[in-house]
Amino acid sequence: MSIFERNISDFCDFLIKRQLVVAGRETFYVFWLRRYFQQEINFKGTGWESKLPQFLDSLKREPQIAPWQVDQASQAVQLYFNNFLNAQKKSLEQGKNQGEKGKSDWFDGQRVLADLTEWLRIKHYAYKTEKSYLNWCRRFLQYSYECKGKNDEGNICITPELIKDFLARLATHGKAAKSTQNQAFSSLLFLCRHVLQIDLKDMEKNLRAKTAKKLPVVLTPIEVKLVLSSVSGTNGLILRLIYSSGMRLSECARLRVKDLDFDQSLIFIRSGKGDKDRSTLLAEQIKSALREHLQRVKQLHQKDLSDGFGEVYLPGALNKKYPSACKEWGWQYVFPSAKLSVDPRSKKTRRHHISDGAIQNAMKKAVRAADIVKPASVHTLRHSFATHLLLNGVDLRQIQDYLGHVSVETTMIYTHVVKNLRNPAISPLDMLDQMTTE
């Protein structure tokens, strides 16, 4: 049994022993608590006190949930954090006072990683985020083993000071970038909060590296034209689609056939960054090539079906709700992979979408062929999309919707780029030639 399931089971026993709820209602309180943890990632704030009102508001918006059920959900979360966790802390402190001090610092490394994986999936983190968090936690556990070793039971000693030393070593000896250091800290913070239940206290504020605000790399319209003319085929179509719509690379790779609306010239992006949906532009110039590409993809899909394959990954529980949807044409990826592969979670053989690396390599070769010295990547096309729309007088709020930014302040970074491109100041050196000597 994982740490999460053990806590849930202990919470249920706690309610029964303390007689805090009506007998036989414990399962309902456990149900609301599970639902809170599943939705917690979507709420703003750091503590449960700030997230609970948002959770209750989301329940009130569901017509099938009665007001008394909302009150019950509120009681369940409060009982867990105020009563159950406090009782656990007191019990732990009593154990330390009885000579068991330091025992709680030892953890089974393999069990920790298994529980971490379960927590990440409970909170519906992306697969890439799961891989990244697991990688950093493995490195930290290895560092713990090297520093403090293992006890007779093979457990690893983990303390807040050891976490601080690991991040300090990463920054000083590893010369890690600020974003890399913050990613490592976020991984360990998640580990401490949900798996190890270690309180980092003030370290949560002090261990994050301060990030600097930098202007994005933007290509001029002429440079974009040179880059796009240097690449053809499917990769060229993808790069044109990204520049014309402002999509992220991962959003374009995961694009499905049903999300293309040729009649309204729109692209619907599902579960983008932050698990948000939005719509963006579908350029007229790209429609013809995109239709031809879809015809070839449809032929490939029909061949997969005849070979006994043809399934595609469906998010969440849609595969159970619509069992035949995984083979329907509308759910297929617009840019499928050239080869079948095994899903790392379900172990099913499917045709996944094209890899990000293939598109990045195509962009890198196109930039070199265009003889552009700017450090341009695929994401540069997204920056260029926003900047060129601003130059053409498109409203900033509208660009924010196209890009999927939560705050308009994020989109306002492009106003600084436009300021440099539009009406630049004349250098004093150039003004010397215009001056006349007396």
Rounded to two decimals, the pTM is 0.70
Active-site annotation holder among 254, 301, 350, 405: 405
Residue 197 to residue 88: CA distance in whole angstroms? 11
β-bridge pairing 260-261 and 266-269: antiparallel
Q: Select which of 208, 270, 273, 327 is catalytic.
A: 273
- The interaxial angle of helices 378-391 and 413-421, nearest 10 deg, is 70
**Collapsing DSSP states into helix, strand and coil, what is residue 430?**
helix
Same-fold call for 3-84 versus 134-206: yes
Look up residue 393 and give its DSSP letter.
Answer: T
Burial of 245 (0-12, 13-18, 19+ CB in 10 A): buried
**Catalytic: 243?**
no
DSSP codes of every residue in 60-117: HT-TTS-HHHHHHHHHHHHIIIIIIHHHHHHHHHHHIIIIITTGGGEE-HHHHHHHHH
Amino acid at 382: R
State yes or no: is 414 an active-site residue: yes
Per-domain boundaries in the chain: 3-84, 134-206, 221-421
CA distance 314 to 311: 9
Residue burial 95-128, b: 16+ Cβ < 10 Å; e: rest: eeeeeeeeeebebebeebbebbbbbbebbebeee
Token duo for residue 61: 């918006």
CA distance 191 to 213: 28
SS3 421: helix
Give residues with Cβ within 8 angstroms of 113, minimum separation 6.
134, 137, 138, 141
Instruction: State whether residue 260 is helix, strand or coil.
Output: strand
- CATH number among 3.40.190.10, 1.10.443.10, 3.90.550.10, 2.60.120.680, domain 221-421: 1.10.443.10
Answer yes or no: 416 catalytic.
no
Name the β-bridge partners of 349. Answer: 342
CATH class of domain segment(s) 3-84: mainly alpha
- 45-75 pLDDT, tens digit per residue, is 777 888 888 889 889 988 888 888 988 888 8
CA atoms of 227 and 236, how far apart (whole Å): 9
The letter for the amino acid at 13 is: D
Are 230 and 305 within 8 A, CB to CB? no
Angle between helices 160-172 and 127-148 (to 10 degrees): 100
Q: Which of 142, 210, 151 is nearest to 182 (CA)?
A: 210
Classify domain 134-206 by CATH architecture: Orthogonal Bundle (1.10)
Cα separation, 165 vs 101, in Å, equals 22
Residue 160 in contact with residue 168, Cβ under 8 Å?
no
Dmax over CA atoms of the chain, in Å, equals 101
The packing angle between helices 67-78 and 26-39, to 10°, is 80
Selecting among 194, 240, 350, 382, the annotated active-site residue is 382
> Which residue of the set 51, 194, 240, 248 is catalytic?
248
Is 169 strand, coil or helix? helix
CB atoms inside a 10 Å sphere around CB 307: 9
Contact yes or no for 31/75 (Cβ under 8 A): no
DSSP, residue by residue, 125-167: --HHHHHHHHHHHHHHHHHHHHHH-B-TT-PEE--HHHHHHHH
Is 402 a residue of the active site? no
Helix pair 378-391, 396-403: axis angle to 10 deg: 160
Distance CA 385, CA 393 (A): 13
Structure confidence at residue 153 (pLDDT)? 58
In the set 148, 164, 352, 379, the catalytic residue is: 379
Please indicate whether residue 248 is annotated as part of the active site. Answer: yes
Residue showing tokens 């043809």: 310
Structure tokens at 172: 């000083």
**Residues with pLDDT less than 70, the chain:** 1-4, 88-105, 149-154, 204-205, 423, 436-438
Q: For the chain, how many residues are written?
A: 438
